Amino acid sequence: MVELNDGITILPELAATDLSRRQLELVRHFKRPAPMREVSLVVHRDFVKQRLVQALKQEIIRAVPEKIRLNKNLNVIPI
């Protein structure tokens, strides 16, 4: 739609990694503070399978491209 009619489409940053060079020229970023998404892993404090939680955490981190992992504009809100 953006390419044809000057519309607006909001894409997650990971979706933009598959765009062509021409499509990337159409991408505009949000002004600060930019909205963000997160991956949360919440377990009960007495959860006994800590190694499982750590392994899952490492796999999630490994699946995220380095460009995004290095993005230090993090707003972490503890619960």
Please report whether residue 74 resides in a domain.
no
Domain carrying residue 10? 2-69
Please report whether residue 75 resides in a domain.
no
Please report whether residue 50 resides in a domain.
yes
Please report whether residue 64 resides in a domain.
yes
Please report whether residue 51 resides in a domain.
yes
Residue 72 clears pLDDT 70, i.e. is over it: no
Please report whether residue 78 resides in a domain.
no
Indicate whether this model's pTM tops 0.85: no
Residue by residue, what is the 3-state secondary structure of 16-70?
Answer: HHHCCHHHHCCCCCCCCCCCCCCCCCCCCCCCCCHHHHHHHHHHHHHHCCHHHHC
Return the pLDDT at 74: 57
Please report whether residue 41 resides in a domain.
yes
Residue 67 clears pLDDT 80, i.e. is over it: no
Q: How many domains does the chain have?
A: 1
